[in-house]
Amino acid sequence: MEVFSDFQCPACKTLFTTTNRQLMDNYVSTGKVYLIHRDFPLPMHAHSRVAARYARAAAQLGKGEAVEQALFQNQEKWEQNGDVDGTVAAVLSTPEIAKVRALVKGGTLDAAIDKDYALGQVYRVNQTPTTVFHCKGQTYPYAGVMSYDILKQFLDQLLSQ
Amino acid sequence: MMQSSPFNLRRAIIWIGRLVLAGIFIYAGYSKIFLPIVHPRPSIGAALMFFALQVDSYQLLPPWGVNFVAHTLPFAEIALGFLLLIGWRLRIWATIVTLIMLGFFAAVVRSYALGLQINCGCFATPEPLTIKTVFRDAGLAALALLMTVFAFIEARKPHPWSAPEKV
């Protein structure tokens, strides 16, 4: 599953907090499903690209999931004041946030974000969140939030094919 | 004696409505059951559960309601499409099609007004729900309504090809 997501998008927050957490616990951690976060920062969101940079930098240190959770859970705060750095710093140790800041300032992360964005355009993603399911050569593009109950039934159908 | 012409506006609209709505309903049902956009072709169970995800994205129904709609609507659409084409008991099926179209229209308007970033799900394609979708559904609902009203009006008249009454 590839989830094209924007850290400043409220629907992406809903998908992450209500569905994808349970998905990670029940399908990803058991190895049934691979879940890939793809950055798709929408131009209308002022801070989403900055947030994507921090999340990518944290992922390079193995802290991607913790930072993703912090960014989504505190979305209303940092989208008001733009303090992405403070939000991320709250869940990392001092040496970790120093490394993350260095990576963000290094300017090399935008290429990876742009690559995700370009991939989204290949799949004709035009809104977030968009989830692209891949199973046995099949590709199912789906836009919007989904409840865990229905997603679980869909995944079980795919896995039983 | 007044006699209705076989070629009046009401009959034309009934025919247009039957052909257009039948075509749309049959294709909509087919695309949800067989998912022609996905290759290789998925199982019907997977296709219907994919449609269930799209029904769920409207955030209108509980999970059992989503499952019920996802597993019955595509078959009902195909059946209603063929019944419209055949024209047997047209008033009954036209009324049901109109109610369904008004239901679709209400769901689309609600989702658009709430700003839900979702796909329409109408033809199982990744088509975003936009103002175009709202206008399209409004047009089809209006066509279905006109077809139904005219079908009831025309049914109260003598058939245009029936033998004239003797005075």
Q: Which residues in chain A have Cβ-Cβ distances shorter than 8 Å to B118?
A: 143-145
Residue type, B33: I
In terms of CA atoms, which chain A residue is nearest residue B68? A150
Q: What is the mean pLDDT of chain B?
A: 91
Domain of A144, CATH number, reads 3.40.30.10
Q: Is B70 a residue whose pLDDT tops 70?
A: yes
Residue B13 is part of which domain span? 9-153
Residue B3 — very low, low, confident or very high, per pLDDT cuts 50/70/90? low
- Domain tally, chain A: 1
- Domain tally, chain B: 1
Q: Along the 161 residues of chain A, how does pLDDT read in single tens digits? A: 999 999 999 999 999 999 998 999 999 999 999 999 999 999 899 999 999 999 999 999 999 999 999 999 999 999 999 999 999 999 999 999 999 999 999 888 999 999 999 999 999 898 899 999 999 899 999 998 899 999 999 999 999 88
> How large is the average pLDDT for residues B144-164?
84
Q: For position B102, what pLDDT does the model report? A: 98
ipTM of the complex: 0.82
Q: For position B167, what pLDDT does the model report? A: 52
Of B39, B59, B117, the CB nearest to A127: B117
Q: Is residue B2 part of a domain?
A: no
Q: Is residue B164 part of a domain?
A: no
Q: Is residue B159 part of a domain?
A: no
Q: Is residue B162 part of a domain?
A: no
CA distance B74 to chain A (A): 17
Q: Is residue B166 part of a domain?
A: no
Q: For position B39, what pLDDT does the model report? A: 86
Q: Which residues in chain A have Cβ-Cβ distances shorter than 8 Å to B128?
A: 126-127, 143
B62: contact with A, CB 8 A cutoff = no
Q: For position B163, what pLDDT does the model report? A: 62
In terms of CA atoms, which chain B residue is nearest residue A140? B38
Residue A117 is part of which domain span? 2-160
Q: For position B1, what pLDDT does the model report? A: 46
Q: Is residue B3 part of a domain?
A: no
In terms of CA atoms, which chain B residue is nearest residue A158? B46
Q: Is residue B158 part of a domain?
A: no
- CB-CB under 8 Å, B38 with A138: yes
Question: Out of A133-147, B58-72, B85-99, B150-164, which region has the weakest mean confidence (pLDDT)?
Answer: B150-164
Q: Which residues in chain A have Cβ-Cβ distances shorter than 8 Å to B60?
A: none
